[in-house]
A and B are shown apart, each in its own frame.
Chain A
Amino acid sequence: MAIGFDSDFLKKLEYLHVVSKKAFAGQARAERLTPKRGRGLEFADYRQYSAGDDFRHIDWKAYRRLGRLLLRLFDEEQDLPIYLFIDASQSMAPPGQSPEKFEQALRLAAALCYIGLAHLDRVTLMPFDETVREERSPGQGKGRIFRVFDMLEQIKPGGRTDMVAAFKNFAARGRRAGLTVVISDFLDPAGFEKPLKMLQARGHDVYAVQLACETDRDPGALGDVRFVDAESGDTRDVEVTPALARAYTAAWEKHTEDLQMFCGRYNIGYIRADVERPVEEIVLKTFRQGRFVA
């Protein structure tokens, strides 16, 4: 699959930046405000001079007025660590069906990546299934977007979803806390609550982007059907009646509602991104409405 955006869309993305509810310490100087006080341009505060402080930061005007040596403090601006968890399990592209959900996930990841790169944020691509696969960091600067496209195109769907194991694996790598975006259908038999809480407990600012397609929401067939689990291969013979089909749709809606309510309760950003909607609309409209980007 070839991923690419037109130049208009890319231009629009350059004006956006990812909103983080927390301030995280970065690694290099960039545009993100950090909790640190340092050598930025924005004045932040005064503090009493103490021996060893740089004379150049003493406010001599204040000394003349108050007779006290005060030191001027400035905000430190650094890059923001952004981790893009892309669900690359087989459920994102069931065999025999169009991999639209997986492609949508890659496109969204590419858009978010470009927004981050444009603002010198440190973006890391984290495809996962039962574990976090190879960690890919394209670097900083919007010129790296083509490298991002290459990286995303190399990700192939496969394996089972196990977010707990994957996020445990990520936590064990000792990465610094940052903004974490999980792009997934959240159809994990073990549930989505524990892994999302696990990320939040590590200090990350978590966003959940739920992908859904028509085959997720609707059984798509009536009568005797043998459903095959895309990940485990388990089968289930079901006589799909209209009532059962409605019950399935209701169950899917409830699953979505549960995810949304859970995210609301734990201050986790939630965005629903159906594959039927174009990426441009999702990013420019839904992400904005969800205060994910601004």
Chain B
Amino acid sequence: MSFGALAGWQAWLALLATAGLFTYVFFIKIRAPRIAVPSLMLWQRVLDATREMTLWERIRRIVSWIVITLIGVMLVLAVMRPAPSVTAAGGGRRLIILDSSWSMGAETSSGETRWERAIAEARALIQSSAGDEVAVATTADGLVEGPTTDAVLLEAALDRLMPSGGENSDWPRLSNVSKVHFITDGTLARPMAGLEATGADVVVQSVYESAPNVAITAFEVYEPGAPEAQAEAYLELANYSPQKQTAQLTVTRGTTTVGDVAVELAPGEAVRQMVPLGLTGDPRVRARISAPDNVLAVDDEAVAWIARAETLSVTVVSAEPGFLKVLFDRLPGIRTTYIAPGVYDQPRPGAEHVIVFDHWVPPAAPTKPALYVSPMLADGPAWIGQARIETKPQWATADRHAVLRGVDPATVTLERARSVESDAWTPVARSATGSPLVSVRETTDTRAVVLGFGLLEAESNVALQPAFPVLIVNAIEWLARPTLTGQLRPGVVPIEAAVSRVINTSGESMPITAFGDTQLVRFPVPGLYLAEGGGMRTTFAVNVGDPQVSNVSRTSLSEEAQAQGAAARAEDPWWPWIVGIAFVLVLVEWWTWHRRITV
């Protein structure tokens, strides 16, 4: 800026001086005469009354009254937690389905998990239901609560819910539903067509937020059939984050750490490792991974159980154990007791898991799982069935039974078969003429295996073949331990009919639901579980171990659905704002009151 009349500094000086002078003049006031009065009491009354009579004062009084009323109304409103009303089309029922897959446990940038976001959105929906009937369901458990108009009941149900897998379940069904709110992160691989087929208006509300994660995507112990072989743990680690991460992997067996290494994981990389484990020692194996950017906790730990590390007790009832003794003495993890058939009925110390009857059958069926080797003597008891004797049978057909896994029939030459024929037995290997060579029986009380051939040289060459230890170990394993095939994951899992009880590590029984011939049990969390039934008991591991779960940065939701979810989250509850406004109004009223501006 330049000045035509004066130099710059002169102009600024003049401006400052003028401002100072006028400021001084502004603050100069003519000193009012001082008059002493007996009391200002009357003047106070007069001025108060005069002020109260003015229009401005009346307006201020009304404003003050409105402000105070507003404060009260807002505080009451805040207590009532208002929300925008969302009424179902046609006034029908509303169904809120929460995606309860494990990926919902992923933490978001705000610190809460996707599940907590989903619960908050479900609560908001319930509060805004405006008297509609509402039902709450999850993808794992189906319908959980409702339909009801009781918000307290619904919110109590929400408090009980947790992510629990359930990727393989069906959509919950409810009649007369007008609107379905599906709150999900989009990782559930379940076609939406099934939900839309109900005819209801389906609204997908996203709680997805891309997040980095490091996980154990597979952890399984492989126990070889060969007696001397070592067990191996198969471990798979994956990095589902856009950055390279250094993960710390710790493997423990019981309370002993057997491995603690740092693993470099490139973005999107999956590292597979085989960890050798001895068959002796603590059967509990636990792998744990930790990394800086890791939003999902449920896949950071995996457990396994080395079944053969648990000693099995076997009683062999035989007059001449022969090859059986040679085999059992060399099998690790099996403690064998040999008794003669004559002393079978006498009490024995300890409790065996399996009894092996060699060329002899007890008068009454045993209550324990039993392996019968060539049982059909001429004077055999009737309970076991009729004898069927065949000379030089050819092992022709073999079922894919667990007892026969890894057994090569081609190497076996049988001189004589003394098999049983009864409806109670199920043949799993037959001769060319149809004689049952290997039969099994499985009831809710017990299991039994019959080998229709002996192990003596005059009966077969089985004892000299590689199939011998495999067959016997398979039979013992199948008899002593229920087979829970495949990698078990949390959620609802079918189990064998022989299993009568499943216990978690805290000793609590898991409820078993029977649907026809199928038994289902729900594993709520990963971990070790104990299954019992039919005189057998076995511990097994349940792990998440699923790349689909651990890859929490993927979603099947469209960008539009994600944006809707973000917008819905942006709608914070109203009540804190209302409380804030009320507080500000209180401050304004307090300040003005002290300034004697309002009454």
Contacts and interface: CB of A to CB of B under 8 A. Distances in A.
Interface of A: 91-92, 94-97, 101, 161, 185, 187-189, 215-216, 219-221, 223-232, 234-238, 244, 247-248, 251-252, 255
B458 interface: no
B38 A238 contact: no
A252 B42 contact: yes
B41 interface: yes
A230 B32 contact: no
B3 interface: no
B46 A251 contact: yes
A216 B34 CA distance: 16
Nearest to B36: A94
Nearest to B50: A247
Given A227-B35, A228-B34, A237-B32, A248 B40 contact: no
Nearest to A255: B42
Interface in B29-53: 30, 32-47, 49-50
Contact of A225 (B33, B38, B45, B50): B33
B38 to A, nearest CB: 4
Contacts of B38: 91-92, 94, 101, 185, 187, 215-216, 230-231
B35 A221 contact: yes
B35 A225 contact: yes
A59 B35 CA distance: 73
Nearest to A254: B45
Contacts of B36: 94-97, 227-230
Given A224-B32, A237-B32, A247 B37 contact: no
Contact of B30 (A96, A219, A224): A224
Contact of A227 (B40, B45, B50): B40
Given A221-B33, A225-B32, A236 B39 contact: no
B33 A247 contact: no
B49 A227 contact: no
Contact of A251 (B32, B37, B45): B45
Closest 10 CB pairs of A and B: A91-B38, A187-B39, A94-B36, A224-B32, A229-B40, A226-B32, A251-B46, A226-B34, A228-B36, A247-B46
Nearest to A247: B46
Contacts of B44: 236
Interface string B173-211: 000000000000000000000000000000000000000
A209 to B, nearest CB: 16
Given A91-B39, A161-B39, A227-B37, 20 more contacts: A96-B36, A189-B41, A216-B38, A220-B35, A221-B33, A225-B33, A227-B40, A227-B43, A228-B35, A228-B36, A228-B37, A229-B40, A232-B40, A247-B46, A248-B43, A248-B46, A251-B42, A251-B45, A252-B42, A255-B42
A237 B45 CA distance: 14
B54 to A, nearest CB: 12
A176 to B, nearest CB: 33
Contacts of B50: 244, 247
Contacts of A244: 46, 50
Given A220-B35, A226-B34, A228-B34, A234 B40 contact: yes
Given A247-B46, A247-B50, A251-B49, A231 B39 contact: yes
A219 B30 CA distance: 20
Contacts of A228: 34-37
Interface string B18-38: 000000000000101111111
Contacts of B34: 225-228, 235
A243 to B, nearest CB: 8
A221 B43 CA distance: 13
Contacts of A220: 35
A225 B30 CA distance: 11
Nearest to B29: A224
A226 B35 CA distance: 6
Contacts of A227: 34-37, 40, 43
Contacts of B32: 223-226, 237
B47 to A, nearest CB: 7
B37 A215 contact: yes
A189 B39 contact: yes
Contacts of A219: 35
15 contacts: A224-B32, A224-B33, A225-B32, A226-B33, A227-B34, A227-B40, A230-B39, A236-B44, A237-B32, A238-B43, A244-B46, A247-B50, A248-B43, A251-B46, A252-B42
A59 B414 CA distance: 160
A237 B209 CA distance: 66
A229 B37 contact: yes
A236 B41 contact: no
B42 to A, nearest CB: 5
A247 B48 CA distance: 11
Nearest to B41: A189
Given A220-B35, A226-B35, A236 B46 contact: no
Interface string B530-555: 00000000000000000000000000
Contacts of A232: 40
A248 B33 contact: no
A226 B33 CA distance: 6
A57 B24 CA distance: 95
A101 B37 CA distance: 12
A236 B48 CA distance: 13
Nearest to B44: A236
B41 to A, nearest CB: 5
Nearest to A90: B38
Interface string B43-70: 1111101100000000000000000000
A225 B35 CA distance: 7
B104 to A, nearest CB: 69
B35 A236 contact: no
Nearest to A212: B38
Contacts of A225: 32-35
A75 B50 CA distance: 59
A229 B33 CA distance: 14
Nearest to A234: B40
Contacts of A216: 38
Contacts of A229: 36-37, 39-40
Interface string B241-275: 00000000000000000000000000000000000
Interface in B546-587: none
A230 B37 contact: yes
Contacts of B42: 187, 248, 251-252, 255
Contacts of A237: 32
A231 B41 CA distance: 11
Interface in B287-335: none
A128 to B, nearest CB: 16
B511 to A, nearest CB: 78
A251 B40 CA distance: 12
A221 B32 CA distance: 11
A189 B44 CA distance: 10
Contacts of A247: 46, 49-50
A229 B34 CA distance: 10
A220 B36 CA distance: 11
Contacts of B43: 227, 236, 238, 248
Interface in B395-433: none
A210 to B, nearest CB: 12
Contacts of B33: 221, 224-226
Contacts of A96: 36
